[in-house]
Structure 1
Amino acid sequence: MKKVAFYTLGCKVNQYETEAISEIFRKNGYEVVDFEDVADVYIINTCTVTNLSDRKSRQMIRRAKKSNKDSIIVAVGCYAQVSPDEVLGIPEVNLVIGTKDKGKIIEKINLIEKGMNKVNLVEDIMKTREFEELGVEVYKERTRAYIKIQEGCNQFCSYCIIPYARGPIRSRSVEYILDEVNRLVSNGYKEIVLTGIHIASYGKDLKNTSLLDIIKKVHEIDGVERIRLGSIEPTTVNREFVDEISRLRKLCPHFHISLQSGCDSTLKRMNRKYTTEEYRSAVSLLRSSIEDVAVTTDVMVGFPGETDMEFNETVKFLEEINFAAMHVFKYSQRKGTPAANFENQVSPQKKEERSNILLELSARMTREFNKRFEGRIMDVLFEQDVKDRDGIIEGLTSNYIKVLCEGESYLNGQILKVKLLEAVEDYVKGMILTS
């Protein structure tokens, strides 16, 4: 039996696509092994969000070849799409596939096995208008199932390369989404995560459907116990949207609403399509309509031209909103984006300083949010054993609180009643009440 190994960089969409590609290989008689093992084929699912992502992708390509000098090396994903010639120029690489045509991977590997040394399958993604259907039935070692419902982005934020890597928006058909949900539920998955490159735009290229519509249709499927959304935009969260979702008991009261900056002038330079006032209104709508709701976000520090005054404005806004958690990252110049050529680039030292301030703020916010739930009994979906801590398992409440409890591995995949005892760092100690 031939063996294939995978290494995935980047986002949840990449993770989904790796699962889908691994299923293609399994159905063609391959055994999926760990990346550190000897394999006949190595697939590196690349990321290109930053220059560091590109470098990491190249490192993993070279590491794979060292494991088996006779192996076939395949680079797929965003870095492969944006810089195909550069990737194909890496001596170890045999096959380059971008962000489409992944379904042709076995066919192309067969060509390489017959003697073709280098194959480039990358085409102009900006001309693509069809959603490439890749299905997943089983996720390796996962209790939550990610379903990709949308591809591409039309936002063109000034710092972001992804629209050039993923192309224009394409929505997956309702029929295929529901078919995949049903298959996953029949395989024991209780939580469905709807993900995509820009899920807020789901349905804009289809007739008579929207993100709200697909959420409601998934909600109707027997066996789905939780629905969780990927990152959405504040402009998605209007009165109609909130009124409708507040009636959906399976939809997790956790919304990751991208912010990037709490300063309007910075948002404008970023080419974000909302203001801080619109963001504030979206959060207010959610909190006034949905009990125990958690709002999390992304924040970028050190965007070109960000002054101390603008940064302080962001800090003030973050403190006002008081998130359940924040993902803080430093701006990185990305060749091919408008912001890479902006004046007044912020120094690495200043970025580090600002990042540390926000990371400390985020940790405090998470502790304070978690502390509000001490003493409460909540449902927790247990997902995995805690590494290096025997007899401890971890899971998530519906509003995304990480909970650690004494328990055995067989409880992973179950939703159990847990009493939340004490907020510690970024998690809460709990006690399982039923099993």
Structure 2
Amino acid sequence: MKKVAVHVLGCKVNQYEIEGIKELFRERHYKIVDFDEKADVYVIHTCTVTHLGDRKSRQYIRKAVKNNPHAIVAVTGCYAQVSPQEVEKIEGVDIVLGTRDRKEIVDVVEKCQKGRQIKRISDSMLNKEFEELPVFKPSRARAFLKIQEGCDRFCTYCIVPYARGPIKSRDFHNTILEIENLVNNGFQEIVLTGVHLGTYGKDLGKGINLFYLLSELVKISGLKRLRISSLDPDEIDTDLLELMTENEKICPHYHIPLQSGDDLILQKMGRKYTLDDYRRLVTDIRNKRPEAAFTTDVIVGFPGETEELFANTKEFIKEIGFADLHVFKYSPRKGTPAAKYPNQVSTEAKTQRSNELIELSNVLWANYAQGFLGRKAQVLVETKINTLCEGHTGNYLKVRFEANQEDLIGKIISVKLEKIGQAKELLGTVIL
């Protein structure tokens, strides 16, 4: 049996895609092994959102070549798509695939001869059909389903539209059938993912959009939880807001990217909302679901962000009271407008601001979690090692507890939340 080792960098969409790629290899009787092991094939699924993503991608490519100089090394993903010339120049790279044709990766690997490089990079702007990959199933409890690809926003800092191309949606009926099949196979929670999820259906016509899809999905008998990975604030209209706050199947966890807590910076970023818009949305959701968790993405060090403007961001974050933050240091991307903006922020300042927000994030998480101590929560069990179980609540609090019962994975268990653990988790006791 041939061995394949994979490594993925970057976002949740990349995480989903690499699992699909692994499944394609399994179907062809390859054994998936750890990336540190000697393998016949190495696949590096790359990220290019920041310079760090580029650098780490190159590091893992070189590590694969070092692990086995005779192996086939395939490089896929956003870095390969945007900078194929850089990738193909790295010694030992055999396949450069980009953000399309991943379904054919095993065929490409098996046709490849060491030393005769294969390059399959198509113009991302011409890629207008959704590419389906096998479903990501991290446990017998939860399944991720990618239903959307591409972005048409072209925020001034972002390389993603150039790497992923225009918006593309998974077929509506195929999506329904896929989720029905997952539910019939015992999955309690389905997570919908996409590069720009709020645009789902925009390319399908016939009145199909995210609201219509969710309206149909919540009717599926046996589906316990439906989780939405991320939505921009300006994409949540009145109908979608009502559905997301009134239907109990939709998890009360809202990941709504903020990027900056200053209106001037938001405008320079090309974002489509103001702080008042964001504040109003959070208030509307909290009025209907007071215990909802709000998480967000924030970029520090965007060109022109002074200490005063950064302070505005900190204050707005405190005002909203997020449950958690994903903090990114701005990284100039060649070809994006912001890369040429004046008043670029120093590396030292970006690092300092990032550290401040990470510290604030830890405080905010503890404050949010503290409010649930002593209360009962419904926890979907995702892993169990001996008697130690781990899972998440509907509002995405990680919970650990001891239980002797067998076959708990995939079940929703009542747990009393008793104390805060050491790694952004709550510790509890099963309620019999």
Task: Pick the TM interval, shorter chain.
Answer: over 0.9
- Aligned position for 1:153: 151
**Deviation readout 1:190-233 (Å, 9 max, x if unpaired):** 11110000001111111221111112222222332111111101
2:393 aligned with 1:393: no
Asked if 1 retains the 8 angstrom alpha-carbon contact of 2:24 and 2:134, the reply is no
- Aligned position for 2:46: 46
- Aligned position for 1:402: 398
Distance 1:417 1:262 in 2: 37
Give the residue type in structure 2 aligned to 1:397. Answer: T
- Aligned position for 2:190: 192
Q: CA deviation at 1:60?
A: 0.8
Give the residue type in structure 1 aligned to 2:62. Answer: R
Residues 77-116 of structure 1 mapped to structure 2, 5 A cutoff: 77-113=77-113
Residues 323-338 of structure 1 mapped to structure 2, 5 A cutoff: 323-338=322-337
Q: How many pairs does the alignment contain?
A: 429
Q: CA deviation at 1:120?
A: 0.4
Distance 1:308 1:71 in 2: 49
Mark the runs of 5 or more structure 2 residues left unpaired by the alignment: none
Asked if 1 retains the 8 angstrom alpha-carbon contact of 2:381 and 2:408, the reply is yes
Q: CA deviation at 1:417?
A: 0.3
After the TM superposition, which of the residue ranges 139-148 and 52-61 deviates more from structure 2?
Answer: 139-148
Distance 1:379 1:256 in 2: 20
- Aligned position for 2:409: 412
Distance 1:141 1:5 in 2: 20
Q: CA deviation at 1:132?
A: 1.2
Q: 1:141 to 1:59 in 2, by over 3 A?
A: farther
Asked if 2 retains the 8 angstrom alpha-carbon contact of 1:401 and 1:428, the reply is yes
**Deviation readout 1:93-141 (Å, 9 max, x if unpaired):** 111111111112122222214x6710000010111111112232x6255
- Aligned position for 2:378: 379
Distance 1:406 1:239 in 2: 42
- Aligned position for 1:144: 142
After the TM superposition, which of the residue ranges 363-372 and 328-337 deviates more from structure 2?
Answer: 328-337
- Aligned position for 2:16: 16
Q: CA RMSD in A?
A: 1.8
Asked if 2 retains the 8 angstrom alpha-carbon contact of 1:238 and 1:282, the reply is no
Asked if 2 retains the 8 angstrom alpha-carbon contact of 1:146 and 1:192, the reply is yes
Q: CA deviation at 1:48?
A: 0.6
Distance 1:121 1:370 in 2: 47
- Aligned position for 2:317: 318
Q: CA deviation at 1:334?
A: 2.1
Q: CA deviation at 1:142?
A: 6.2
Asked if 1 retains the 8 angstrom alpha-carbon contact of 2:155 and 2:271, the reply is yes
TM-score by length of 1: 0.94
- Aligned position for 1:3: 3
Asked if 2 retains the 8 angstrom alpha-carbon contact of 1:403 and 1:429, the reply is yes
Q: 1:123 to 1:354 in 2, by over 3 A?
A: same
Q: CA deviation at 1:189?
A: 2.1
Residues 7-406 of structure 1 mapped to structure 2, 5 A cutoff: 7-113=7-113, 117-136=116-135, 139-141=137-139, 143-207=141-205, 208-384=207-383, 391-406=387-402
Give the residue type in structure 2 aligned to 1:383. Answer: E
